[in-house]
Structure 1
């Protein structure tokens, strides 16, 4: 799936979109400044992750079994509202 990075970027961009943040703040009855950036992104697929990722640069772990998902932790030093920082997060 060559657009997996685009999917991650879109999900992160949506999570920090001012309209989404404002709605989360409204529901929680808090100020928008208190709505934190996502700390992790959970991916669950309907097939093995190895089928979704480009294989160059990746090595299989012997006897590790199949995986259909993962938890991708955010780097708290990055501002996901910044397209440059968000791209760095996606690349990581």
Structure 2
């Protein structure tokens, strides 16, 4: 299994895997599984990590197989979706 170097960089910037887990609302075990390559980094983590690292770790670094330009071109709103997460209108 390949270690996710970009995720390791993000952890270093944020301070710890525990802090990243708290920011993402996941367990430390989930972070560990993603770092060690036992599971892919979930798409939903990527924008949060990019934001929390102030762009030092980009979505493209974490999941290069996705066309993140589509995400980047969506208008940003502060509305919240009833099922959680942010709405884009």
TM range (shorter): under 0.3
Question: TM-score when scaled to structure 2?
Answer: 0.27
Instruction: Compare relative contact order (CA 8 Å, sep 6+) and give the higher one, 1 or 2.
Output: 1
Larger strand percent: 1
User: Which structure has the greater CA radius of gyration?
Assistant: 1
If each structure's helix is expressed as a fraction of its own residues, which one has the higher value? 2
